[in-house]
Amino acid sequence: MAGNSIGEFFRVTSFGESHGKALGGIIDGIPPGLSLCEKDIQGDLNRRRPGKSRYTTQRRETDIVEILSGVFQGITTGTSIGLLIHNVDCRSQDYNDIKDVYRPGHADYTYMCKYGLRDYRGGGRSSARETVIRVAAGAIAKKYLRKYNVIVRGFLSQMGNICCSLNSWDEVENNDFFCPDTSCLKELDLLIRHLKKSGDSVGAKVTVVAENVLPGLGEPVFDKLDADLAHALMSINAVKGVEVGDGFSVVNKYGSENRDEMTSSGFSSNHAGGILGGISTGENIVVHIALKPTSSIMIPGMSVNVFGDSVQVITKGRHDPCVGIRAVPIAEAMVSIVLMDHWLRQQAQCMDVFNSYLKKIS
């Protein structure tokens, strides 16, 4: 496959460019009988939507989703769901200047190397605009998982050198940063103002937690649950690192510190981030991702054009000073898609065992 699909059984396939007519997706493998309408999806789309706060890009997309199939009388039929979202606020002329130029840190050059041509308007397919379909698909997965009490939610855990602690999940939706720590809000605001003024950008770290995941999800060897999460999360634009549980801090840990002991009432700790041997333990699944500072900045940078000449580039257009902010709902979506996929895979192979867990929670 050429890379526009994810998931083995719950499978999401997408299309669309930053400045094309529309973006869309096909969701295959959704179980029949799930109550579903556009409203179920729109909430997360709104959380990701550009232009909704002064901290993100000023491109104003409504991101209104249409369900074109797979739902009849408000219920999923089990057949493939077609989703469509039109682009409404393209300013393609903003990109005429970079038609022949490779913006440093962007995919312009690599798309040219791969395909021998490229859609230069807003980065084309390489734009994070495509994540709108991820979020839509993820919302469907979330809705299904919620039937079984699984809650998937994320937050901004760091921006630049500002670390945000998970003080309160409630707080996350009360500010424009998805920040769980009110004590950081002022600093975050100042940092973004500073970046806007300097024309620069900054990196971020996002954390996602999935609660009440049944044990037994994930396949041994190559399709471990954490391997599929790493795949899904690293596929998000700008992500340069993925951690499960304690992540890179395990490098400097002893086995006696790091292992999670068990008692008859469960695990005593969760360094593993809810996954052992690639299979969910029933503890919270905890993942972190690192997002690079976007390369779309106003500070001039050296590059070359398609003719091989040295040029200086300034990235005009409308951009996020910190792409990590809007990455929160995207990362939640990717985690949800992976969990949903493994949920169905577990039903496929180990239905009898899984049924016994499902009974416990019903």
Site for a second copy in 80-119 (CB under 8 A): 80-82, 84, 102, 104-107, 109-111, 113-119
The DSSP string of 56-121 is S--------EEE-SSEETTEE-SSPEEEEEE-----GGGGGGGTTB--TTSSHHHHHHHHS----G
Contact between 290 and a second copy per CB under 8 A:
yes
Contact between 355 and a second copy per CB under 8 A:
yes
- Give the interface segment with a second copy, choosing from 39-47, 51-59, 140-148, 263-271 (CB under 8 A): 263-271
CA dist 298 and 320 (Å) reads 12
Task: Using CB under 8 A, count the residues that bind a second copy.
Answer: 159
User: Rounded to the nearest whole angstrom, what is the least distance from the CB of residue 19 to a second copy in the complex?
Assistant: 9
Hey, which residues between 168 and 197 contact a second copy (CB under 8 A)? 195
- Give the interface segment with a second copy, choosing from 38-46, 123-131, 147-155, 166-174 (CB under 8 A): 123-131
- Phi–psi pair at 111, nearest 5 degrees: -60, -40
- Phi–psi pair at 225, nearest 5 degrees: -60, -40
**Is 174 or 348 the residue whose CB approaches a second copy more closely?**
348
- Give the interface segment with a second copy, choosing from 37-45, 145-153, 180-188, 223-231 (CB under 8 A): 223-231
CA dist 14 and 30 (Å) reads 16
Q: Tokens at residue 103, please?
A: 């913006």
Hey, which residues between 35 and 74 contact a second copy (CB under 8 A)? 66, 68-70, 72
User: Rounded to the nearest whole angstrom, what is the least distance from the CB of residue 14 to a second copy in the complex?
Assistant: 7
Q: Tokens at residue 113, please?
A: 């190397």
Q: What residue type is 62 in one-letter code? A: T
User: Rounded to the nearest whole angstrom, what is the least distance from the CB of residue 157 to a second copy in the complex?
Assistant: 9
Hey, which residues between 12 and 31 contact a second copy (CB under 8 A)? 12-17, 20-26, 28-31
**Is 77 or 212 the residue whose CB approaches a second copy more closely?**
77
**Is 151 or 250 the residue whose CB approaches a second copy more closely?**
250
Q: What residue type is 72 in one-letter code? A: F
Q: Tokens at residue 296, please?
A: 């779309």
Residues contacting 197, CB < 8 A, separation 6+: none
CA dist 154 and 329 (Å) reads 7
Contact between 126 and a second copy per CB under 8 A:
yes
**Short-list 152, 238, 252, CA closest to 201:** 238
Contact between 276 and a second copy per CB under 8 A:
yes
Q: Tokens at residue 140, please?
A: 């469907």
